[in-house]
Amino acid sequence: MERIVVKSPADGSVVGEVAVTPTAHIGSMVERAHRAFLAWREVPLPERVEPLRRLKRLILRERHAIAELVAREQGKPCIEAMIVELFPPLDVSAFLMYEGVRLLQPRRVRSKNPFFSDRRSTYYFHPYGVWAVIAPWNYPFTIPMTQLMALTLSGNAALLKPSPLTPLTGAKIVELFEQAGFPEGLVQVVQGGAPQGEAMLAHPTVRGVIFTGSVPIGRRVAEQAAQTNKKVILELGGKDPAIVLSDADLKHTAQGIAWAAMVNAGQTCASVERVYVERRLYEPFLNALHGELAQIRVGHPLHSETDMGPVVARFQLERVQRHIEDACMKGGRVLLGGRVRADLGELYHEPTLVADATDEMLGMQEETFGPLVMVQPVDSAEEAVRKANASAFGLTASIWTRDPRKAQRLAPMLECGSVSVNSHIVAYGDSYGVWGGFKDSGVGRTHGEFGLYELVQPQYVSEVYTGKPELWWYPYSERVHRITDWLMEFLAAPSLKLGGKTVRRLLPEMRYLTRHFSPLKMTGGMVRYLR
Ligand code: NAD
């Protein structure tokens, strides 16, 4: 049987190995998940919370081991893994147990449509069934774990396919679900790469996919999912801008941007990769950012005083180097870094700061996904917003200013899924925040209320027991035609006065209407709504 041997990007040591799932096994795994789903969807919501509560406690108990596994397998420092990989699932589980259960309960529809407002109408939220969760390597624990938590609470089952670069963390996630007492087969792990992903997507019983990864693979996933009409959620790449206004707090801004550009060695979909600075603050900001980046300690992810570990693989280093070389050729100034740290190991790179970036540079257009931040001066906040939006990506952005009015004016002008002011990537950390991108950065959402509703199919149930026909049923007649015409005029009249004229014609027909048809309920509020 084929195996994946995981070598640590930090030092090449073997972290462990897993067996690749033969694609021929995937069909039976899907069927098992489907059987588990059929029973699980009947479990009342408050009871579905119990294994989630146990899962939360297990994560808390095993947090050091999980952080160490991620550090060894993927390369981010242990402390960083604690913050970025473990806090979000703990918070998301609390959100789901508290808000999720409330949001998924059936709820009454308060219609203002006069034809239907007198009935009992209800929304029910149904799970889809079996999902494929296809995950990336850069946040191998928090991304699939939080997605699986929300999927299972809402009554779904899932097969998780972690990245072949981080299969051990993927296996650990599914082990935790099993230990927490979720039903057998409800959450399973598929190990491998594209062939396994494609086999999951080809199966007609898989009804949805949450794909987190690159734009080109995301497109292929959507194309394949369309063959069997699966629900598709795509969380894709980013090229996040930070906009620094001339009134920004220099120290705070430089500190925040240094972290947001270099966290996880820059391998974050929402890393700050482009910074647009109002010209008056340009040189002071470069000095301040240089000062912050120069203090970052690059080293082994298991050392307690390391700020930044290695990148995950050689292809990452090559892209960073290509973007730096391209910037230099086009007039960029490397103010800090720029080189591989071969003294530390094969995959370490210096935090790199490029000033005088221009729009044509690759590092201002393509996702770099490494420890490189590029800075460009601009003449105004409006120019910064224009440049920030002139990208195929639209994941997140940040604005750095002391003036709330400016921030509140600019934030809605940015074409992206979330905006942080005087911070960055806040939406992912707050489980009430919604996560997802505009444009090429994604389709659909995860996290928060909107993310939860993506995982269920809303069903509208309308009840009426009068035994009377609806006004629009057969037989059509001249009288009903006339009444319908007056009703339209009355309900959609541009003013109450004009509507009043029609009422006089309608009134004599009201007895006929109420005697023969399902009741209409009209109030002044409804008339305003229709107008
Ligand atoms: P990737 O697209 O190379 O791979 C993602 C997953 O897809 C892996 O599990 C991979 O094995 C699988 N895969 C590959 N080919 C497939 C196919 N044909 N069919 C089905 N599955 C297939 O991405 P990556 O390198 O693992 O992750 C980095 C990318 O992910 C970056 O672009 C980053 O911005 C993005 N990302 C986005 C978010 C977000 O929330 N928007 C979060 C993390 C990472």
Query: What string of DSSP letters covers 368-433?
Result: --SSEEEEEEESSHHHHHHHHHSSS--SEEEEE-S-HHHHHHHGGGS-SSEEEESSSSHHHHSTTS
Is 207 found in the same domain as 297?
no
Can you tell me the distance from the alpha carbon of 88 to that of 174, in angstroms, rounded to the nearest whole number?
17
Is 120 found in the same domain as 212?
yes
Tokens of residue 342, six digits: 């071969």
The best mutation among 268, 269, 317, 438 to test binding of ligand 1, ranked by most ligand atoms within 8 Å of the C-beta, falls on 269
How confident is the model at residue 79, as a pLDDT?
Answer: 97
SS3 156: coil
CATH code at position 388? 3.40.309.10
141: exposed, middle or buried (C-beta count within 10 Å: 0-12, 13-18, 19+)? buried
Mean pLDDT by 10 residues, the chain (531 residues): 96 98 98 98 97 98 98 98 98 98 96 85 98 98 98 99 98 98 98 98 98 98 98 98 98 98 98 98 98 98 97 96 98 98 97 98 98 98 98 98 98 98 96 98 98 98 94 95 89 77 85 87 68 63
**Which residue, judged by its Cα, is nearest atom 40 of ligand 1?**
235
Question: Is 509 inside a domain boundary?
Answer: yes
Is 388 found in the same domain as 261?
yes
How confident is the model at residue 526, as a pLDDT?
Answer: 66
Is 254 found in the same domain as 212?
no
> In which region does residue 79 sit, left (phi positive, over 0), alpha (psi from -120 to 50) or beta (all else)?
alpha
Q: What's phi and psi for 334, nearest 5 deg?
A: -80, 110
Is 211 found in the same domain as 104?
yes
Tell me which of 73, 78, 80, 269 is the catalytic residue. Answer: 269
Tokens of residue 242, six digits: 């930070």
Question: Is 5 inside a domain boundary?
Answer: no
Can you tell me the distance from the alpha carbon of 126 to that of 398, in angstroms, rounded to the nearest whole number?
36
Contact 230/206 with Cβ under 8 angstroms?
Answer: yes
How confident is the model at residue 524, as a pLDDT?
Answer: 64
Is 184 found in the same domain as 63?
yes
Tokens of residue 489, six digits: 């005029």
Is 253 found in the same domain as 194?
no
> Is residue 80 flagged as an active site residue?
no
> Is residue 415 flagged as an active site residue?
no
How confident is the model at residue 530, as a pLDDT?
Answer: 67
Buried b (16+ CB within 10 A) or exposed e, 453-487: ebbbeeeeeeeeeeeeeeeeeeeeeeebeebeebb
Single-letter residue type at 159: L
How confident is the model at residue 266, as a pLDDT?
Answer: 98
- Give how far the C-alpha of residue 21 lies from the chain's centroid of Cα atoms, to the nearest Å: 27
Is 111 found in the same domain as 42?
yes
Is 304 found in the same domain as 390?
yes
How confident is the model at residue 527, as a pLDDT?
Answer: 66
C-alpha angle 403/405/410, rounded to 5°? Answer: 100
How confident is the model at residue 518, as a pLDDT?
Answer: 87
Is 162 found in the same domain as 119?
yes
Question: Is 439 inside a domain boundary?
Answer: no
pTM for the whole structure: 0.97
Can you tell me the distance from the alpha carbon of 64 to that of 196, in angstroms, rounded to the nearest whole number?
31
- Give how far the C-alpha of residue 296 lies from the chain's centroid of Cα atoms, to the nearest Å: 29
Contact partners, residue 137, CB within 8 Å, separation at least 6: 74, 162, 163, 165, 166, 312
Q: Edge-to-edge, what's the strand order for the sheet holding 107-108?
A: 107-108, 120-127, 456-463
Q: What's phi and psi for 278, nearest 5 deg?
A: -60, 135
Question: Is 74 inside a domain boundary?
Answer: yes
Domains: count for the chain: 3
For residue 510, the enclosing domain spans 478-530
Which residues line the pocket of ligand 1, CB cutoff 6 A?
134-139, 143, 161, 163-164, 193-194, 197-198, 212-214, 217, 220-221, 235-238, 269, 367, 369, 395, 437, 442
